[in-house]
Structure 1
């Protein structure tokens, strides 16, 4: 019974959460509690819970009397639609729910998520339920959320937060101290120095609703754990853009002219003019790696330094960029794909004497490999504002290298940027606490479980189709017009495509940019990048049991890396469906195929003739590339055909060239999903 009562409290909370509007029509009534519930009043500390400040709600009275073996709780305002009939008889089920409703009234001012309700209801421990309710009681009594600011934030941002919440500024917390405090907080704000790990979310007891990153990069926040625990993560991507770009340019010029080394020399009493002869910037090539907000601002300023050519304005491949650049400026986020993207292999491909600037993230460079490249003269100089470990070790060979200029992560450190970031993140956090959608959210919001369960395989399909389609575009970033067609036996009003459209947008944008896309920011991001997505629904005959039969994505006004993907009307066209719960590609251009959309795929157009599958398979086998599936779609026997090959590993360029050199193969493209 104790567990039933504890769970009833949670169910009562959940009920009112779903029926918030019923407070508009209420009147006093009596609520009866069975005698078995009496110990819970004390166990849950209800005798100490008293609302503070003015309130229109009646004040609950926990001095209870008895009537027919039950306890009365007076007075209490309950919605008219929920009142029991006159001539009350004790009803344990009603009493349990009523008890939860009373508790929620005490905790007015705190809206609980459905995810929290589910977790409480599934809990097998009365003690756990009791502790959670008491923690939330503290919030309800205060009537305002608590925001923990774990790193220094500008005063303007702190003021905005204090206007809405109770603000706790506790800096330099150890991981253990952060985990200990977080269960008392509704929001957390950090910069780059605090790791918001899975352990933090596990320690929050379901209370933490938003994490604000005062800056752009969110590699110090476990996004998967945040989403799993129903916590929104927001950042401040615009306020420090100019400051970071200015610092990049400052390091570029200071490095080229040996400013830091010459300054140290003069202060040491030396006068070594011949030792610090610099390199001119005029007529040199700058590769801007990561052409987002900061990268584009760097390029704009670099052109003002009389660049003959600015890579990022002239889009080229990664290999061409590093092979031709005199200067390389890094501005990409730290992701699994960019981790140590500059390493021994890439340094070996660079022009000897290249100079590197990094104001992005330390982890994008293999620091030991950079030391080797500096010692070998491949890299003439490096100017670094960020490092893999911050602060770096005092005996770091990289920091102590005479050809390295180092600053302590100062990219966003201007007075103007600090205040701008503080205001931007404070506004985002307060908005999230109010339940508003945020354009700077970087993780997916909560989706109703029943909708997500039904749409999940189609959500995967939508993203994979977007990723597949954009990789077929020559130049990628020229995508501006996209048409999405949904084929379903359901009526158009029965299919909510917002999540699907968001995932297609995610697939189209993320492979060619550093932007994180989700349901919250998908439409905003598409509009910001000038990407216009139109949707069309085709109603099919048949059973509406499945939400969709297929999804088709068309990209207009672009050139294709794979000519066979162009439809008769001139657009890149790909079409997919869900088979056995997994996303499958069923059409490329005019060719029908049957390909599982997973891993990596090789597409090749060929003349349909005997032995082609064997020839391609033999080449891949000789290079130890495992084939997971193979499908061939053709116009007619002995005519053109498209072969789709799923592979577990990325083939070497030489391997792909061997396949392309087969006489019957007319074109070839490799796509990574």
Structure 2
């Protein structure tokens, strides 16, 4: 390992908002570190089990992405057993500490009772947890966790895909042409512009479907007794009563969980109140529709078409009259399937938490933060970038270092509100390719005092900014100063293992020492020395 140091002198140059530079207080110590090119190989989750040094056993009952399985195998014995019958699941569960399911496996009271108290957590890879017996889990002291926004966009996109494919008879026309036919008049379809779309359920997925349907020129109404009216108004959606909703809609799209209240909410009685020729999309749960009643409504013409991604029994029987109906478009529960749902945001998630942790440690006293402004700079439009996960990780970074509260995606907004932390978000749309989700993330903490004068921007706010480069988070701004050292070393594949900053005198020059694993070449040292704010670079 080697080390080198350099002296920094305050510069009057102010980095532009879009510049990609390492920013450093020139008169203060900034508690941060440079990004490294190699990740530590010994970082592993710690899991406590009853047997000393024994690995926990995780039963994966439905297919997961390979990256997720590899992560689990790093610290646990993983048993991938798919399509288990209820009896087989009960037989296996007593040997398992954790169970991971999607929507196809029912985790019943019998499963918890069969575990003999060993099962500690059930992980639901998705949003809904209606396939898990929550009271039984509570009685047996078992945690139930889900991924509440992991498939929101994917489900919304699939709902719109089914809606448009159904309206234009895409599946039927495709099969006809492949059979050697050319029946243009038979598969003309209907227009979406000006038609009324009813969203039954106006949560995360329903809201995303609404935004996309508005873009198609549809009039969107929603039925959801728990939806905030202000959120609906912000999207341009009208909340209506159940009877008004089903009697006026041209299209109905379902986005509600399966509960005793919603089970078979569309049945013979409700179908009889609908406009003749209504079209129905379901990417929620099969049980919210009485499938036999739907078949009767299709045969009578009350329902002109249906597009279904979910069924009461999955997979449905091969001879299902509903699946085989000529006016029904089907898919095998694809709504939550999207290979890039979270992978592209992964490095930005790490960046978001690190920015939050750095920002709060720059505050004098640490706990006086009441207002945070987050700015996302991206070449994507607002509707193509879901920032909720990033906001949650920033909140986690801001709160966890100064409290004993555990913050995650589920409770981030609640925890921030409980602590009186007001978070506002701003989007800057940049010109350029939308290939990457974000150019940079910036945090501004107003009305606080800093332990480090150099961390304050020209407006007196604590400001930190970061970006992702080569898959790794980089700090690019603290206050108003920029020193592009981290990016230069990273570009040259020089691995940084520590960094220390000290002052020569108060409000004067600062000295930084960086430990590196490889000796930087002459060109690298020259490039660092040419940075305007650096006075001298020394390498032993």
Question: Match of 2:93?
Answer: 182
Structure 2 distance, partners of 1:156, 1:522, is 22
Please give the alpha-carbon distance, in whole angstroms, between the structure 2 residues aligned to 1:321 and 1:196: 34
Which residue of 2 is the match for residue 365 of structure 1? 289
Counterpart residue number, 1:290: 201
Higher relative helix content: 1
C-alpha contact (below 8 Å) 1:338/1:364 kept by paired residues = yes
**Aligned match of 1:247 in 158, 165, 184?**
158
Secondary structure of 1:416's counterpart equals coil
1:278 to 183, 189, 201: 189
Task: Spell out, residue by residue over 1:206-251, the C-alpha distance to the aligned partner (whole angstroms, 9 max, x if none).
Answer: 1110000111122221112111111011111211111110000000
Q: Find the aligned partners of 2:91 and 2:346 in 1 and give their Cα distance.
A: 25
Say whether the 8 Å CA contact 1:153–1:418 is kept in structure 2.
Answer: no
> Tell me, what secondary structure is at the counterpart of 1:253?
helix
Which of 209, 214, 222 pairs up with 2:120?
Answer: 209
**Equivalent pair of 1:157/1:422 in contact (CA under 8 Å):** no
Indicate the residue corresponding to 1:331 in structure 2.
255
What CA distance in whole angstroms lies between the structure 2 residues aligned with 1:310 and 1:420?
A: 33
- Looking at CA atoms only, which structure, 1 or 2, has the larger radius of gyration? 1
Instruction: State the distance in 1 between where 2:47 and 2:343 align.
Output: 30
1:314 equivalenced with 2:238 (yes/no): yes
| Aligned partner of 1:396 among 305, 320, 324 | 320
CA gap 1:194/1:412 in 2 versus in 1, 3 angstroms: same
TM-score calculated relative to the size of structure 1: 0.43
2:82 counterpart SS class: coil
1:167 alignment partner, SS class:
strand
Query: Could you tell me which residue of structure 2 aligns to residue 146 of structure 1?
Result: 57
Aligned partner of residue 201 in structure 1, secondary structure: helix
Distance 1:420 1:294, change over 3 A: farther
- 1:235 aligns with one of 146, 151, 158: 146
The 5-angstrom pairing of residues 365-444 of structure 1 reads: 365-417=289-341
User: CA, structure 1 residues 152+352, in 2 after alignment: closer, same or farther (shift >3 Å)?
Assistant: same
Given the superposition, is the C-alpha separation of residues 182 and 419 from structure 1 closer, same or farther in structure 2, using an over 3 Å criterion? farther
> Tell me, what secondary structure is at the counterpart of 1:189?
strand
Q: Distance in 1 between matches of 2:47 and 2:193?
A: 62
Task: Tell me the SS of whatever aligns to 1:206.
Answer: coil
Task: Report the 3-state secondary structure (helix = DSSP H, G, I; strand = E; otherwise coil) of the residue aligned with 1:168.
Answer: strand
CA distance in 2, matches of 1:297, 1:315: 15
CA distance in 2, matches of 1:420, 1:182: 34
Q: Is the CA contact 2:127–2:150 (under 8 Å) kept in the aligned structure 1? A: no
**Are 2:221 and 2:245, in contact at CA under 8 Å, matched by a contact in 1?**
no
Determine the C-alpha separation between the residues in 2 that align with 1:387 and 1:278: 25
Q: CA deviation digits over 1:599-648, x for unaligned, max 9?
A: xxxxxxxxxxxxxxxxxxxxxxxxxxxxxxxxxxxxxxxxxxxxxxxxxx
Is 1:155 aligned with 2:66? yes
- 1:542-563 CA distance string (max 9 Å, x none): xxxxxxxxxxxxxxxxxxxxxx
Shift of 1:160: 2.2
Q: From 70, 77, 87, give the equivalent of 1:166.
A: 77
Q: 1:308 to 1:177 in 2, by over 3 A?
A: closer
Cα gap change, 1:164 to 1:356, in 2 (>3 Å): same
1:188 Cα offset (Å): 0.6
Instruction: State the alpha-carbon separation in 2 of the partners of residues 418 and 523 from structure 1.
Output: 19
Query: Do the aligned partners of residues 110 and 531 (structure 1) sit closer, same or farther apart at CA in structure 2, a change above 3 Å counting?
Result: closer
Give the direction of change, closer, same or farther, for the CA distance of 1:335–1:422 in structure 2 (3 Å limit): farther
Match of 2:368 in 1: none
Q: From the superposition, tell whether residues 418 and 386 of structure 1 become closer, same or farther in structure 2 (CA, over 3 Å).
A: farther
Alignment length, in residue pairs? 304
1-side partners of 2:418 and 2:327: how far apart? 43
CA 1:267–1:375 in 2, change beyond 3 Å: closer, same or farther?
same
Shift of 1:295: 0.6
CA separation in 2, counterparts of 1:251 and 1:109? 42
Deviates more, 1:315-324 or 1:177-186: 177-186
- The 1-side partners of 2:328 and 2:345 are apart by 29
Instruction: Give the 3 Å change call, closer, same or farther, for CA 420–402 of structure 1 in structure 2.
Output: farther
List gaps (5 residues or longer) in structure 1: 1-107, 112-135, 424-518, 535-673
What CA distance in whole angstroms lies between the structure 2 residues aligned with 1:207 and 1:421? 34
Q: Deviations over 1:143-201 (max 9, x none)?
A: 33221112111122122222332222222333222222211211110112222121111
1:218 maps to which of 119, 124, 129 = 129
Shift of residue 418, structure 1, vs aligned partner: 8.2
Work out which structure has the larger RCO, using CA pairs closer than 8 Å and 6 or more positions apart in sequence. Answer: 2
Question: What is the CA distance between 1:521 and its match in structure 2?
Answer: 9.1
1:533–1:299: structure 2 CA closer, same or farther, 3 Å change rule?
same
SS for the counterpart of 1:218 is coil
C-alpha contact 1:342 1:364 (8 A) present in aligned 2: yes
Alignment deviations for residues 275-323 of structure 1 (CA, whole Å, 9 cap, x no partner): 1121100011111111111110000111110124444611111111111
1:264 maps to what in 2?
175
Task: Report the Cα distance in structure 2 between the residues aligned to 1:409 and 1:380, rounded to whole angstroms.
Answer: 22
Residues 525, 230 of structure 1: alpha-carbon distance in 2 compared, 3 angstrom cutoff: farther
* Aligned position for 1:355: 279
What SS does the corresponding residue of 1:184 show, helix, strand or coil?
coil
- Aligned residues of 1:287 and 1:328 also touching (Cα < 8 A): yes
Q: Are 1:363 and 1:387, in contact at CA under 8 Å, matched by a contact in 2?
A: yes
Q: 2: CA distance between counterparts of 1:202 and 1:289?
A: 35
SS of the equivalent of 1:161 reads: helix
Q: In 2, Cα distance between the equivalents of 1:183 and 1:381?
A: 46
Distance 1:384 1:230 in 2: 36
Taking a change above 3 Å as real, the CA distance of residues 254 and 288 of structure 1, as seen in their structure-2 partners, is: same
Q: 1:249 to 1:373 in 2, by over 3 A?
A: same
* Match status 1:343 vs 2:267: yes
State how far apart, in whole Å, the 2-side matches of 1:327 and 1:267 are: 29
Shift of 1:400: 1.3
Task: Find 2:109's aligned residue among 189, 198, 203.
Answer: 198
1:576-598 Cα shifts (integer Å, max 9, x gaps): xxxxxxxxxxxxxxxxxxxxxxx
